[in-house]
Amino acid sequence: MKQETIEQLLERYWDCETSQEEERRLSDSFSNGDIPDNAKKYQALFAWKQAQAQLKGSKKLKSGFHKTPVIRFYPIMKIAASVLLVLTVGIGFYTRYEQEKFMDEIFAETYSNPEDALQETKEVIGKVSSVLQLAKDRKIKAEITDSLEINKIQNKIK
């Protein structure tokens, strides 16, 4: 760049008449050392600008939010919560269904006529009681036999 142009640019710079592009060109000229002697007194300004532009925050700033790590896991948490919800509701419905099925089987209506059902029940109860009576008779009989046997043995010993 011509030296006259830099001086002219500088004058317009101080008056705030330079564009962003012209101000960039001015900075570039100073950082390249491509400046006339009488402009060297402003060198510190452009060195300061260059140094400032290189100042950076630590990396954690760009990675976002160390105060709220939950944000980074936000989408995963949403998916996990949905899966958990579907599973819970699903298991609930399944258990209830199985339970109802089981109860239905137990209390299923097998007779259309109540009298038939009564008759059948009486028969079943009759069978059960006769079986019980039979068992009782056998037990008494066994007890009598046992005591007779014991008497026999006792007599022999005497």
Residues forming contacts to other proteins in the complex (CB under 8 A) are 13-16, 20, 23-24, 31, 33, 41-45, 47-53, 55-58, 61-62, 64-68, 71, 75
CB of 50 to other proteins, least distance (A): 6
The nearer residue to other proteins, 74 or 93, going by C-beta atoms, is: 74
Of 3 and 42, CB closest to other proteins: 42
**Where would I find the beta strands (DSSP E) of the chain?**
none
Question: Which of 53, 45, 52, 14 lies closest to 29, judged by CA?
Answer: 45
**Residue for token digits 């640019």?**
9
Round the CA-based radius of gyration of the chain to a whole number and report it. Answer: 52
Is the CB of 41 or the CB of 156 nearer to other proteins?
41
Cα distance between residue 4 and residue 12, in whole Å: 12
- Please enumerate in sequence order all residues whose Cβ is within 8 A of that of 23, keeping only pairs 6 or more positions apart, or say none: 13
Q: How far is the CB of 73 from other proteins (least distance, A)?
A: 12
Q: Determine the residue type at 17.
A: E
Of 55 and 106, CB closest to other proteins? 55
Residue linked to tokens 């532009």: 53
Q: How far is the CB of 82 from other proteins (least distance, A)?
A: 18
CB of 88 to other proteins, least distance (A): 28
